[in-house]
Amino acid sequence: MELYELNLSDAIQGLKDKKFSASELFASCKARIDKLEPEIHAFITRTDSTPPAETSGLLAGIPTVLKDNLCTKGLRTTAASKILGEWRPPYDATAWAKLKEAGAVLMGKVNMDEFAMGNTCGNSAFGPTRNPNDLSRVPGGSSGGSAAAVSAGYVPFSLGSDTGGSIRQPASFCGVYGLKPTYGMVSRYGLISYGSSLDQIGPFARTVKDLQLVMSVISGHDPMDSSSFRDKDHDFTHREDVSVKGKRVALVKEFQSFTLDAPIAEAMAKTRKVLEEEGAEIVEVSLPVVARYAVACYYALAMSEAHTNLERYDGVRLGYTVKDAAGIKEMFERVRSYGFGPEVKSRIIAGTCLTEPTRCEEYYVAATKVRTLIAQEFTRAFGECDFILQPASPSMPWKIGENDEDELKGYEADLYTLPVNLAGLPGLSFFAGYAGNLPVGLQLIGPRWSDPALLDTGVILERHLGSPKIANGGK
């Protein structure tokens, strides 16, 4: 076994027992990256030129990568956009500062859809990333680079962000575990904003135990993010003696008539059986507003927030600029026309229309009301069940470029993930087996702050459904 193949907890143990050194682990991961990166293209910026100095802490000497919308002090952070140019943030994102403090070693910043808008990792100014399980297919997005890096064995864990599914969908496409934590569980300080009321940072790893380890490091209150939680700390300790006996796991009634790709439907049936055998009761909950309006509600809100958040990229304060413009208007025009890609531009325009004074009530404000109804619907549902089981995506990873023409179809593909962000809930994307060489992932959702319980259930699912293998480009 090569060192890059070790999952996070085994790598930590091996380093502790001095079976190998941090430099050896680093060298193994670096060689793996060198070998596969020309085909996978997960990186925007590599930083793996120097082996780690001796460090201490829970993650001492563990290589990792970060989605390129997480600020890294002095290191180029692009959000996969030309508009940020060679911007080097003057501070670290809190989640990264915590990993660094725990001894993690950064191998680089990885690809994503520009400003996290998309679900293919193809809306990047740096070109698309390929799915390590099948190089002709998308890795999912927007955190496609973070998922691909873990799946290909570059690093044992990574961080991404999830505004409407950007951790859970790529995790399921690449065959790794991914957690979108409860809104407020992880500080958003230093995360480049997309939709601030929806954005949340979370981990990718090849086992549930590894997600628990990373969550124990990155979660917690941060005075720099007033939306991060202030009450007690949450306990992410890994336990083997967990059970779902007597727990009620719900399927969503309205989703039952929606079409799923066959491997996903089969995985749903298999997972349901596993849960029943473990003593859980399978029930049904009804989420009519979610089923009918969540996609429209999400995109109205996400685009409205994005248009406000992206106002700051004006060529004056940070990132790409032009020096020879005839006036301020021409400068804004040239900077923003060149700097943003087509998807980002179309969302800024849509967001501007949705919040424009004469339409704001009818669209933006209406969407905020629908959002409240959606949150209430989930609260009611969680009165009748402990968790909800559903796909992370209705389809298996598609071929690169396949759905690019049909924007709406792309938006609708987020139906199973984005309601979770609208209600601020945690969602776990878990590995549920293979269909040929492609992994199949599903999703388990819980009430707010149930992240530890969700991961405990993930441990049981992993025991029955198996852990994913490191992907080799489909070879």
User: Could you say whether residue 162 binds ligand GLN (CB under 6 A)?
Assistant: yes
Q: Which CB, 209 or 307, lies closer to ligand GLN?
A: 307
- Shortest distance, position 252 Cβ to ligand GLN, whole Å: 19
Shortest approach of ligand GLN to residue 131 CB, angstroms? Answer: 16
Residue ranges of alpha helices (H) inside 236-318 are 262-277, 288-309
Q: Rounded to whole angstroms, how far apart are CA atoms 295 and 300?
A: 9
C-alpha distances in angstroms, 458 versus 179, 392, 469?
10, 14, 17
Taking CB under 6 A as the binding criterion, the range among 160-168, 250-258, 361-369, 443-451 that sits at the site for ligand GLN is 160-168
C-alpha closest to that of 6 among 199, 157, 168, 218: 157
Among 129, 133, 158, 163, binds ligand GLN (CB under 6 A): 163
Q: Tokens 């380890």 identify what position?
A: 213
- Measured from the CB atom, the residue of 7 and 393 that comes closer to ligand GLN is 393
Shortest reach from residue 191's CB to ligand GLN, in Å: 11
**Residue 175 sits in the site that holds ligand GLN (CB under 6 A):** no
Which stretch, 30-38, 50-58, 156-164, 273-281, contacts ligand GLN (CB under 6 A)?
Answer: 156-164
Q: Does 164 bind ligand GLN (CB under 6 A)?
A: yes
Instruction: Point out the catalytic residue in the list 28, 81, 124, 142.
Output: 142
The enclosing H or E element of 440 equals: strand 438-445
Among 48, 414, 451, 456, binds ligand GLN (CB under 6 A): 414
Is the distance from CB of 308 to CB of 352 less than 8 angstroms? no
Q: 201 or 280: whose CB is closer to ligand GLN?
A: 201
Q: Which of residues 191-250 bind ligand GLN (CB under 6 A)?
A: 194
CB of 161 to ligand GLN, least distance (A): 6
Helices (H), 133-232: 144-151, 168-174, 208-218
Q: Is there a contact between 2 and 28 (Cβ–Cβ < 8 Å)?
A: yes
Cβ contact 11:28 at 8 Å: no
Query: Is there a catalytic annotation at residue 143?
Result: no
Distance CA 307, CA 286 (A): 33
Q: Which of 67, 98, 100, 209 is catalytic?
A: 67
Whether 166 is catalytic is yes
Nearer Cβ to ligand GLN (68/462): 68
Q: What order do you get walking across the sheet with 105-110 strand by strand?
A: 43-46, 105-110, 63-67, 157-162, 200-205, 177-180, 427-435, 438-445, 387-391, 248-252, 281-285
| DSSP state letter for 70 | B
Residue with tokens 């179309």: 346
**Tokens at 212, concatenated:** 């628990």
Nearest CA among 439, 430, 443 for reference residue 470: 439
Segment interacting with ligand GLN (CB under 6 A) among 162-170, 355-363, 382-390, 422-430: 162-170
Q: Which of residues 88-147 bind ligand GLN (CB under 6 A)?
A: 116-119, 142
Shortest CB 100 distance to ligand GLN, Å = 24
Q: Does 443 bind ligand GLN (CB under 6 A)?
A: no
R_g of the chain computed on alpha carbons: 21
Give the nearest distance from C-beta 300 to ligand GLN in angstroms. 11
429 is catalytic: no
Nearest distance from residue 171's CB to ligand GLN, in Å?
12
Site for ligand GLN in 299-358 (CB under 6 A): 302
Kindly tell me which of 162 and 222 has the beta carbon lying closer to ligand GLN. 162
CA-closest candidate to residue 215, choices 231, 202, 198, 227: 202
CB 177 within 8 Å of CB 83: no
- Using the minimum distance from each CB to ligand GLN, give the nearer residue, 273 or 409: 409
Whether the CB-CB separation of 416 and 391 falls below 8 Å is answered with: yes
Whichever of 189 and 194 has its CB closer to ligand GLN, that residue is 194
Q: How far apart are CB 162 and ligand GLN at their closest, in Å? A: 5
The smaller minimum CB distance to ligand GLN, of residues 117 and 385, is found at: 117
Interface with ligand GLN (CB under 6 A) = 116-119, 142, 162-166, 194, 302, 414
Q: Which residues are catalytic?
A: 67, 142, 166
